[in-house]
Chain A
Amino acid sequence: MTFRRRPVLAAEGVGEVAPTAWSDVPRGRLDFLGRWRNPIGLVGAAIVGFNVLVALFGPFVWRIDPDEQAAERLLAPSWDNPFGTDELGRDTLARVIHGAQVSLQVGAISVGIAFAAGLVIGLLAGYYRGVVDALLMRLVDMMFALPGLVLAIVIAGLLGPTRTNAMIAIGIVITPAFARVVRGAVLEVMGYPFIESGRALGASGFRIMLRHLLPNIGAPLIVLVTTYLGTAILSEAALSFLGLGTQPPEASWGGMLNTARAYVDLYPWLSIFPGAAIMLVVLGFNFLGDGLRDILDPRLGPQTGGHVATQK
């Protein structure tokens, strides 16, 4: 069974037909400035930028130790503790800031794993086709037969509950999406004359992949990386919430939400702030991805089945 009917991601499977699409792209397509009037994309970029700033410089501005406990516990938000304090008297704002660092690390590493693995699989499948392609794509199909987060839960659970393992699990789970998009884009580019002339001039397969294919499949990959950064962060929060990711006492948004469950009725700020942080960051990446899709992939238009996350 193939799962081809999932909402089409950029460039997926378009390549088997004559490649007309990229020639429709205006030459100045990387001339961003004129197209940056996309409000959704701009809002997304601002949110993502803000989150990066908080993660990098937050601890220098808000100098409270996220693990420091205080005798007075569960304080409501005030000037001293804008987000309140938790059941051990720790400052929630400091912990949310630490969570921002965790989330960025998770996003970078798990998407990095998926990007590298997906690129290799997709390039090999799209370039060599035939048996290699069939084998690799059956493997990819197989992975799509299990819901993403369920697979992540099983892998992370079997490897053992640590953040490193959660990142590995998430990386593995989102790899097939990258492999498919890379393959689709490669198949499309393979139809162009410059690939044939490269071959005629005696370029090796490796050189063609590196110098001719790679630079030409950037646009769909940028969109994909952006939206999957959001997905990865959301998935890690879910795993930590279930106790399969970042372990207490270290602060992480999902872990904070998990402990806050016991206090939600009387001390709702413990649930509200970490959850809002997750939503804001994921929203930022989704907005940014949506905007980038408009800019980089004019074929797809703003909304044509533009699919965001697969895991939740």
Chain B
Amino acid sequence: MYGYVAKRTLLVLPTLIGVSIAIFLMVRLLPGDVIDVLLGADTQVTPEVREQARKQLGLDGSYAEQYWRWASGAVQGDLGDSVRNAEPVSSILRDAAPITLELVFLSLLIAVVVGVPLGVVSAVRREGSSDYLARVAGLIGVSIPSFWLATLLLLFTSRAFGWVPPLTYVSPFDDLGANLSQFILPALSISVFTMAIVMRMVRATMLEVLSQDYVRTARAKGVPRRRVVFRHALRNALIPVVTVVGFEVGVLMSGAAIVEIIFGLPGIGNLLLQAIFSRDYPLIQATTMLIAAIFITFNLLVDIVYGFLDPRIAGG
């Protein structure tokens, strides 16, 4: 098992390096000179000033040199300075990351707590009306735009309860209640998609498990139906669901990028968009890399957990 964990962890390195090269090239290969964009069409700018700016941004030298500077800096926690306000990118990210992580974690929690029971009901009452309803609800869940749902939720709470969440970010360490009341609507609006996916997955795996011999044996020896479903079947049916969770973290981070804007949460998604609109290249590069790193790390954790839950994977 330790060998498996070590192997999986080591395999992350080439992915991280590959992704970092891809992001690095993406920012450079796209049309337009960064310097032109930043300095504008100002004719007063002398070539010396341009060179100065180029150097400051770490854009001098060959691509290989530039990449090496960026990557070796990143490993040491130095991601350069933001172009806009000269603040170190690493400290900007440190402030933004926990907000997005909290949002992703809460929505994952909502999705699993609601999605798993729905999937079980749907599988147990196969072909019944509640199964059909759940199947249609699942398809609706993957079709609702999260940003529209967010708007509707805001509209609903303000009309029905005269309540809107606080508009400036409150840290959970200052006031947990206010923090949660601020996160509940954005978390809910992005969790619906994942909830639907979890539900469909649980339904599929439950149907498979319920048709297996050991389930029939348990029923035959007189174990109550409810106990068979929850103790015997569900425990095994949930294992493959773990894998969905890793993938869904990516979907949730995509959703977070949008709802953070709607709810005024200064998370990574919000940061990425600000960086893009102000053409803050060091910040775009670092934020994208951070998102990739979080996604890759989550998938690694899922792989490891899966190895423990289903030892056949680690052995094979």
Contacts and interface: CB of A to CB of B under 8 A. Distances in A.
Interface of A: 1, 3, 5-7, 40, 138, 141-143, 145-150, 153-155, 157-159, 230, 234, 237-238, 241-244, 257, 260-261, 264-265, 268, 271-272, 275, 278-279, 282-283, 286-287, 290, 302-312
A10 to B, nearest CB: 14
Contacts, number: 171
Contact of B291 (A150, A230, A238, A308): A150
Interface stretch (B24-32, B67-75, B171-179): B24-32
A148 B284 contact: no
Contact of A241 (B247, B250, B258): B258
B140 interface: yes
B288 A146 contact: yes
A138 B22 CA distance: 12
Contacts of A272: 152
A5 B154 contact: no
Interface of B: 8, 11-12, 14-15, 18-19, 22, 26-27, 30-31, 135-136, 139-140, 142-148, 151-152, 154-155, 158, 190, 193, 197, 200-201, 203-204, 207, 243-244, 246-247, 250-251, 253-255, 257-258, 261-262, 269, 272-273, 276-277, 284, 288, 291-292, 295-296, 299-300, 302-303, 306
B34 to A, nearest CB: 10
A243 B146 CA distance: 16
Nearest to B9: A1
22 contacts: A1-B8, A3-B247, A6-B243, A7-B243, A40-B136, A142-B22, A147-B253, A147-B295, A150-B250, A150-B253, A150-B254, A150-B257, A150-B288, A153-B273, A234-B143, A241-B145, A268-B155, A286-B143, A306-B204, A308-B142, A309-B142, A309-B193
Chain B interface secondary structure, helix, strand, loop or mixed?
helix
Given A154-B26, A309-B142, 6 more contacts: A5-B247, A145-B18, A146-B250, A150-B269, A303-B207, A312-B146
A234 B136 CA distance: 19
B276 A153 contact: yes
A138 B31 contact: no
Contact of B251 (A138, A304, A310): A310
Contact of B31 (A159, A265, A275, A286): A159
A157 B302 CA distance: 31
B148 A278 contact: yes
